[in-house]
Amino acid sequence: MARHPLTLVAASLGARPFLESEALPGVRIPGQLIGIGENYWPDGPRPAAGRIPLVFGKFPGSLAGDGQPIVLDPVIAGTVVCEGELAVVVGRLLKDAHSPEEALKAIAGVTVANDVSARDLQAADIQSTRGKSLDTFCPLGPELVTLDELPELQSLSIVTRINGAVVQDSTTASMVFSVAELMMFCSRFMTLYPGDVILTGTPFAPDESVLELQPGDTVSVEVGGVGLLTNPVAARVPSDRMARV
């Protein structure tokens, strides 16, 4: 049990990028890429009576590695924001999990994510998938950290910075649904496979304007005990074929 680097396998034209880890030999990460919305309370955790997790899809082609640019096309995307998150990587087949212990045993490890989101596209579609699936809109990394390395999944700090300024500062204690609960919920309507990734939600931001990204920015997400994920932000240029959306 240890910390395992997540290595980006750069895509050639016509091939999708993916991450590799020695913790999951032969498995491409991400497989299915599952997002969770509205999973943090503004003033700390509250009972989730009557609620279920808000699930959306995020296409695997949105992957970016640590240090790789997040590429913006303002004509297509409009307003783009960062969302720092804890990401869970599935390590074994999981279907119909009925206990937290069963769900947690299926986790290969956790890593850091930035659920980059085009708000104008989300508003136009009245759902999230397209606005969260543009190329480079899902940075992940830099390491896969096994659960034995962490004292408690529900007490990890999450801090997001743009150009060094803190724009998100919270902890996983403020999740509405815990990591185990999210794993259980997802496993009941779909099979989770090794390499699948669940983004567990981003801390509440009362003023989203502080999360907006512009070309030239540097955005970093730090999850306590898990790692620091840093990505520059760049504008798409016509010759950059891999950044077209």
Beta strands 218-223 and 157-162 are antiparallel
Specify the pTM: 0.93
What average pLDDT score do residues 134-163 get?
97
CA terminus-to-terminus distance, the chain: 38
Q: Is residue 155 part of a domain?
A: yes
Where is average pLDDT lowest: 45-59, 89-103, 178-192? 45-59
**What is the reported pLDDT for 245?**
41
What average pLDDT score do residues 156-173 get?
97
Assess whether pLDDT exceeds 60 at residue 44: no
**What is the reported pLDDT for 13?**
66
CB 150 within 8 A of CB 226: yes
Domain range for 215: 27-227
Q: Is residue 245 part of a domain?
A: no
For every residue of the chain, which 3-state class applies, written as one string? CCEEECEEECCCCCCCCEEECCCCCCCCECCCEEEEECCECECECCCCCCCCCEEEECCHHHEEECCCCEEECHHHHCCEECCEEEEEEECCCECCCCCHHHHHHCEEEEEEEECCEEHHHHHHHCCCCHHHCCCCCEEEEEEEECHHHCCCHHHCEEEEEECCEEEEEEEHHHECCCHHHHHHHHHHHCCECCCCEEECCCCCCCCHHHHECCCCCEEEEEECCCEEEEEEEEECCCCCHHHCC
Q: Is residue 11 part of a domain?
A: no
pLDDT band of 48, cuts 50, 70, 90: low
* Percent residues over pLDDT 90 in the chain: 83
Residue 159 has which token pair?
Answer: 């801090």
Q: Is residue 144 part of a domain?
A: yes
Assess whether pLDDT exceeds 80 at residue 242: no
Q: Is residue 68 part of a domain?
A: yes
* Percent residues over pLDDT 70 in the chain: 92
Count of structural domains within the chain: 1
Q: Is residue 2 part of a domain?
A: no
Q: Is residue 60 part of a domain?
A: yes
Assess whether pLDDT exceeds 80 at residue 49: no
Assess whether pLDDT exceeds 70 at residue 36: yes
**What is the reported pLDDT for 59?**
96
Q: Is residue 129 part of a domain?
A: yes
Label residue 203 exposed, middle or buried (CB < 10 Å: 0-12, 13-18, 19+): buried
Q: What is the mean pLDDT of the chain?
A: 92
> Residue 12 — left, alpha, or beta (φ > 0 → left; ψ -120 to 50 → alpha)?
beta
Residue 82 has which token pair?
Answer: 């960062």
CATH number of residue 216's parent domain: 3.90.850.10
CB 174 within 8 A of CB 41: yes
Higher pLDDT, 243 or 194: 194
**What is the reported pLDDT for 239?**
58
pLDDT band of 234, cuts 50, 70, 90: very high
Distance CA 6, CA 186 (A): 24
